[in-house]
Amino acid sequence: MMRGENLPLAAAPMLGFGRLLRRYGFPVAPEQVSGFMQAVTLLGPRSMIEIHEAALATLAPPPDRRDEFEAHFQSYFYGSNATAVVEGEADDETRIKDDGGAGDEENEVARQAEGGDLSSGAELLS
């Protein structure tokens, strides 16, 4: 397990971000945090965009929690008071395409009528 006291000062924010994600229930393994720190080291980094891309690539937030991940990233690295999106808070609406079942009988009649066109000569005689 990684300990903060043995790391260079510049690595502490990356370790802290991994711990923050775990605290909020993100499945982040120690190897992912280590990979995050290595990716940032390899990139330079020249900008916060590169740190953000390294975080996405190595910490791999689940797609359904991406907005929450983004809010935590903004809050942690930029110090903004962004409120994290909590699962289930979004006002999602599911659209259902439904004809109300009115055409079920019509569909069956159409299937039977079309079926005769595909019958072979022997089937038509029986």
pTM of the full structure:
0.59
User: What does the pLDDT read at residue 100?
Assistant: 55
HEC letters along the chain = CCCHHHCCHHHHHHHHHHHHHHHCCCCCCHHHHHHHHHHHHHHCCCCHHHHHHHHHHHHCCCHHHHHHHHHHHHHHHHCCCCCCCCCCCCCCCCCCCCCCCCCHHHHHHHHHHHHHHCCCHHHHHC
* pLDDT tens sequence across 9-52: 888 999 999 999 999 999 999 999 999 999 999 988 789 999 99
* pLDDT tens sequence across 80-92: 765 544 444 444 4
Domain ranges of the chain: 7-78
Is the confidence at residue 56, as pLDDT, over 90? yes
